[in-house]
Each structure stands twice: as C-alpha cells, then as structure tokens.
Structure 1
Amino acid sequence: MAILPGWLDPSHLIQSTGSWAVVVVMAILFAECGLLIGFFLPGDTLLFIAGLFVAEGSLRINLVLFIALLWVAAFAGNMVGYAIGYKVGPAVFRRPDAKFLKPEYIERSQAFFDRYGKVTVVLARFVPVVRTVATVMAGASRMNVRIYTVYSAIGGLLWVAAVTLAGYFLGQIDFVKNNVDVIFVAAVVIVVLVSAVPALLHMAQRRRAGRP
C-alpha cells in the first residue's frame, strides 16, 4: 500500500467520500474484478478497512447489507470481465503478428479452465491481480458460462464475506490493524501455494510416467 498514491489509501477513500463511501467501495470492487485497468486497485485492504469502519461506526450501514452490496459489485465485475474476454480475447490471440499473445496460449488456457476452472475461479478471488486477469481469461478460453457464473458467485461471496468480516472482528486488534499489508501478503502466499499443489502433483505424475 505504501507505493500507491494517497488517494488510493483505503482509509482515505472511505473517510473522504462521506455518504458516497459505500458506492465508491462498490465501484472499486467492480473495476478490480472486471476491468483489466483495475488490477492495481486495493480490493483486499479496502474490504478489510471497510469492515473495520463498520465495526467502529464510522461507516454507518448494516453489516449484512454491506456484504451483500459488495458481493453484487464483485460478482457483476466478474461477469463483465468474462464478457470482455469472451468477445475480445480470441480475436486478440489470433493476430498473426502477436509476439506475446499467441494462439497456443489461448488453447492452453482453455485446457486449463476445462480441468481446473471451478477451483481457479474461486481461489483467484483471493489473489490480487490474478482475480482481475483470471476472469478475462476464463471468457477468452470459452469456459462454460453457467459453471463460471455459479463458481464466480460462490468465490465472490467467500472473498467479500471473509475479508470484510475479518476487518469487522479483527481490525480493532492493534497488531492486526497496524500490520494489514503484511498479513495480506502472507495470506496471498498461502493461497498461491495451496492452489499450486494440483499443478505440481500433475507435473510429478507426468514425469513418473515418462511423458514430456
């Protein structure tokens, strides 16, 4: 958070927007979850601080209603990101002069989402940047829209509820409040390691079988 401009500091955002704070938080979650340009937005920290402010009374809104509104924003963002990837992705990857966005990348992504799509959509919610990119790649890879919708809704609810409630109940502990960034970095590392286990096991199986 220290490298971000002051106006992106979650505490400053919520305090400076007054009665529009809930709308601003929803807009930021929507952008981070659905628009590639929103990958730098502080979704996790924003949810945590927002939960803390609700507990303190600085943000006057019913906690359950607040979580529901944030979930709607995150879910809507993911669906928009999926639609963007579905519509624009294949054309971008099929460009003959593409040096980095090659057609085989979309084929690999499609095979990946066919096999691990459900888990990926849920776990990606908890990893900054990945949650922004994964939703667009799911659309570009033509992941089944019904499956994507269901697991996007589940992942969005788990992410929003878990982080907001953590801020609500744990944010008033001085150690937690003063080390939010470190805690989130540790949490992201754990999520990445856990999500990498299936891929590592798959690679090990292929090596034992003597396949490239």
Structure 2
Amino acid sequence: MTDLPGVFGSVAPYIDDYGYLAVAGMVFLANLCIPVPGDATLIVASIYTVSGDLGLVPVLVVAWTAAVLGECAAFAIGRYGGRPLAIRLGRRFGVTHDLLDRVEAFYARRGTATVVVGRFVPLLRRANGLVAGLTEMSWHRFLVANMVGAALWVGVCTIVGRQAGNNIDTVNTVLERVAPLLGLLLVVVIVLSVARRRRRRRAAEEELR
C-alpha cells in the first residue's frame, strides 16, 4: 500500500516490511518526545486490518502497549532528569525556573486531563510524559491518565483508519494541515490562560500591599 498519500505513504513501507514490530516501534517513539508520525502509523495499521494483512486485535494490543510504555519512558526521563536537565536543554527556548513553576501549577490543576487530551495533539503528545515527570505528577495519577489516553487515541485512530476508504486523501489533509493548527491554537490558549492567572496573582499581591 505504498501508493497511500502523504505521510501515510512514507509509513506504509515500514509496516509492509516489519508488520507489528514497525507499529510498536513507531508508536513507542511517537510517545517518547520523538517526531515520529504516530497518528499516521495507527491509521495505516488500521487500513491493513481491513485488507487482512494485519489482525485488528493484535494491532490494538501492540499499539496501546507501545503508547503506554513510550509515555512512561518519557515520564521517567522527566522525573529523574529533573529541572537541571530541562533548564540545560531548554535555556535557549526561554525555559526558566519561573516558567517551570507555572507549568507545575498548571499540571497540579489539570494534569490528568492534559495527559489524556494531549494524546490527540502531536506537539503535546511529544512533551506530555516528559513534562508530567518533570513537574513531579504522582506516578499513579499519571499512569491512569496515560492508560486512558492511550486507549482513546488508539481507538479513535483505528476507527478513522478502518472507515477511511476513499476518503484517505481528506484524512491526510486533516492530519498534515488541520491538526498542527489545532495544536498551535491549544498551546496559545494554555499560554494565555497561564499569563492571565499570573496577572491576577500580581494584582492580588499589589492589593495586599
């Protein structure tokens, strides 16, 4: 199925050659802060379940397990690498202790929902586990959100892939153009929300003076 459009065509040869191993590897890396097309991998694997080249249940099990393990690995890197690693790697991008304090406060309030929903936004998916570990989100809370988010993500992508049919070009357009824009919009909303809360906190502190 190398005649699939766009990113699907680039993923298909790996699944042709390595089957479930390719699905496991790419989904794992996509959840480990690596820019690998995880959505496309799941959709192509799902298309292969329709043609009979792959089994539906094995794809679901392999993909879910790889997604959970990938984000757990990212969480461990964030937890044990800690702030020194984040500051060292992110200094040129404006990462500071103050910024990390605000991110930690955000995850304390909405970390569970962010880990679940972030699975559907490529930018957040790559950073989710790392940031959750960095902000010292509890392991149990993260694991539950991770497992639920992985199940929803794998399930939705599988349904999309099995139903794509003649609409695969439209799916490719959405994946390559619309999804990144939605991800950017979500990031902007989060940044504005954090900035607004910071202004309110400053205003409250000034009133108390």
TM-score by length of 1: 0.79
Structure 1 residues 93 and 198: alpha-carbon distance in aligned structure 2, compared to 1, 3 A threshold: closer
Shift of 1:33: 0.3
Partner of 2:207 in structure 1? none
Identity, % of aligned positions: 26
Match in the other structure for 1:131:
125
Change (3 A) 1:94 1:156: same
Aligned positions, number? 197
Counterpart residue number, 1:183: 174
Inter-partner Cα distance in structure 1 for 2:123 and 2:140:
24
Q: 1:140-170 deviations in whole A, cap 9, x for unaligned?
A: 11111111110010000000111012101x2
Task: Kindly provide the amino acid, as one letter, of the partner of residue 103 in structure 1.
Answer: H
C-alpha distance after superposition, 1:85-144 (max 9, x if no partner): 11113122456xx45332222211111100110111011101113201121011111111
Give the whole-Å Cα distance in 2 for the aligned partners of 1:203 and 1:154. Answer: 29
Which residue in 2 is equivalent to 1:33? Answer: 31
Matched, 1:101 2:95: yes
Question: What is the Cα deviation at residue 202 of structure 1?
Answer: 7.8
Instruction: Give yes or no for contact 2:28–2:66 (8 Å, CA) kept in 1.
Output: yes
Q: Letter of the aligned partner of 2:20 in structure 1? A: V
Give, in angstroms, the shift of residue 203 of structure 1. Answer: 6.8
Tell me which residue corresponds to 1:84.
77
**For residue 49 of structure 2, what is the amino acid of its counterpart?**
V
SS in 2 for 1:179: helix
Residue number among 39, 44, 53 corresponding to 2:48 in the alignment: 53
Q: Aligned partners of 1:44 and 1:211: how far apart in 2?
A: 43
Alignment root-mean-square deviation, CA? 3.1
| Structure-1 separation of matches of 2:195 and 2:74 | 30
Question: Deviation per CA, 1:44-92, whole angstroms, max 9, x where unpaired?
Answer: 11111110111012x232x123212210000000101000011113122
Distance in 2 between residues matched to 1:104 and 1:206, nearest whole Å: 11
**In structure 1, distance between residues paired with 2:193 and 2:124:** 21
Tell me, yes or no, if structure 1 residue 153 matches structure 2 residue 147. yes
After TM superposition, the score normalised by the length of structure 2 is 0.80
For residues 208 and 92 of structure 1, what CA distance do their matches in structure 2 show? Answer: 30
Distance 1:192 1:154 in 2: 23
Matches within 5 A, 1:9-28: 9-15=10-16, 17=17, 20-28=18-26
Task: Tell me the distance in 1 between the aligned counterparts of 2:100 and 2:193.
Answer: 23
Greater helix proportion: 2
Consecutive unaligned residues of structure 1, counting only runs of 5 or more, are: none
